[in-house]
Amino acid sequence: MVELLLVGAIIFSLIALAVSFIILRMLRRTNARMQAQQQAWERAQEVRQQQWKMQQETQALDIEKRLTDTIKHLRGQLQQSQSKWQKLEQEHKASTEALQQHFEVTLRLARQEYALARLPRIEDTPLPLRSQSEQTGPLSSQQAPDLKGADLSRRDLSSRLLNYADLREARLTQANLFMADLSWAQLADANLAGANLSAANLSHADLRGANLEGANFLVTDLDNTILIGANLQNAHNLTSEQIRTTIYNETTRFDLEIAQALHPDFSAHHVVPANQESIVIAKAKEESSASLQEETTIEENADAESDITPSQAQEEEKQNPENNAVVKQPEEIAENA
């Protein structure tokens, strides 16, 4: 009986050991399978992470490239806009300057035309009163027209009152200035080529550097006219007697006939160095003031003589017939001109 129990216990122990061994092997296999699955899952996760990283990097590169392209495009558009804006500003500035220049030119021309339209004729101008004897002409320097740089070519300005006028750098080519009063006018660097200056009054006018080539000087009054640097070549009806009353120097250009007909001591008395122009002009002004006083005295004498009876005037005419002939000469010369 005991032996049977021992045998049964041994058999049961063997069976238990076999079952335990089988269960242990099953557990090992299950654990190995789970580890393999875990490793496979981890590997899959790593692969997925790598793929995700690659996708993220690719997307980041694409986004960065797109941003770079967009920034470049925006910069190009900005530069184009700036260049267009600068071009528009330049065009606007140029158009504004052109309009400003056109306005200034138009305004200057309108003022010049207005000044020309207001120029009185000599025959329509009343003689100055005694209270106005301080003026050297019917117009003062404040009332004189400003025609600086004006284009007056071929204009008819005959018998016009232009004393004290500012005609510097004006173009007066072939202009008709017959019997015009240009005393004390500023004509420096003016172009009077071919102008008709017959019977005109150019006393004390400033003609420095003016072009008077081919101008007509028939009985033109050139008393104390400044001709320094002026060109009087090919001038018509210009006499040496007229030149002797002017102010000129070695820069004044004459025809050979006029130069030879001048006084023998021409270089000693009439050549004015360039650095003494102001002295000559001052002397001319002093002489003009003296002539003004003489004119005032003549006017007073004329007023006193107006009280003489007609019979006394006839007797004086009979006694002095030469004076009547002298008075008639300028009128005949003006008609011939």
- Residue 328's pLDDT band (boundaries 50, 70, 90)? very low
* Span 147-190, pLDDT tens digits: 999 999 999 999 999 999 999 999 999 999 999 999 999 999 99
Among the ranges given (242-246, 263-267, 270-274), the one the predictor scored with the smallest mean pLDDT: 270-274
Residue 295 pLDDT? 52
* Span 118-157, pLDDT tens digits: 889 988 877 655 444 444 444 454 478 889 999 999 999 9
Q: How far apart are CA 178 and CA 202, in angstroms?
A: 11
Taking the complete model, does pTM exceed 0.75, yes or no?
A: no
- With residues binned 3-state (H G I as helix, E B as strand, rest as coil), the percentages for the chain, rounded to 5, are 60, 5, 35
* Span 57-115, pLDDT tens digits: 999 999 999 999 999 999 999 999 999 999 999 999 999 999 999 999 899 889 888 88
- Residue 262's pLDDT band (boundaries 50, 70, 90)? confident
Residue 115 pLDDT? 87
Of residues 175 and 267, more confidently modeled: 175
CB-based burial label for 135 (10 Å; 0-12, 13-18, 19+): middle
Average pLDDT (233-257) is 91
Average pLDDT (288-295) is 52
Whether the per-residue pLDDT at 48 is higher than 80: the answer is yes
Nearest-5° Cα angle at 219, 215 to 220: 55
Whether the per-residue pLDDT at 258 is higher than 90: the answer is no
Domain 137-308 has CATH 2.160.20: yes
CB 133 within 8 A of CB 192: no
CA dihedral 106, 107, 112, 113 (to 10 degrees): 70
What ranges do the domains of the chain cover?
Answer: 64-118, 137-308
